[in-house]
Structure 1
Amino acid sequence: MQQYRNDYSEGAAPQILNALVATNAEQTPGYGTDGHCARAAELIRAEICLSDAVVRFVPGGTAANITAIAALTDEFEGPICAADAHPMNHEVGAIQATGRRLIPTDDALGVVTPDGAERAWRACTATGTHNTRPAMVYVSDTTELGHVWTASEFDALCDWADERGLAVYVDGARMASAIAAAGSDLDIAHIARRATAFTLGGTKNGMLFGEALVICTDTARGARAADRLPYLIKRTGALTAKGRLMGVMFEAAFDSANANDAGTALYWQLAQHADRCATMLADGLESLGWDPVLATKGNQQFFWVNPDTAQVLNERFGCEPMDMPDSTGQGRTVVRFVTSWATDPALIEQELLPACRELIA
Structure 2
Amino acid sequence: MMQTIVKNCAGIDVHKMMVMVAVRKEMPEGDTQVLTREFGTFRKDRELMCQFLQQHQIDLVVMESTGVYWKSIYASIIGFGLTPWVVNARHVKNVPGRKTDTLDSQWLAQLAHCGLVRPSFVPHPDQEQLRLLTRRRDTVVKQIATEKNRLHKTLDDSGIRLGGLISDINGKSGQRMINALIDGESLQDIIKKADGRLKADKKQLMASMDEKLSPSHLIVLKEIRAHISFLSEQLQKLECLILSAIDPWKEAWQLLQTLPGVSEMSAATLIAEIGDDMDQFGGMKEIASWAGLCPGNNESAGKRKSGRTRKGNKMIKTILCEVANAAIKTKSQFKGKYQSLVIRKGHKRSLIAIAHKLIRVIYTLIGIGWSLAAPLLPQHPAYGSVLGVSVS
Q: TM-score range by the shorter chain?
A: under 0.3
Please identify which structure carries the higher strand content: 1
The alignment's TM-score, normalised by the length of structure 1, stands at 0.23
Please identify which structure carries the higher helix content: 2
The alignment's TM-score, normalised by the length of structure 2, stands at 0.22
Indicate the structure whose relative CO is greater, using CA pairs within 8 Å and at least 6 residues apart: 1
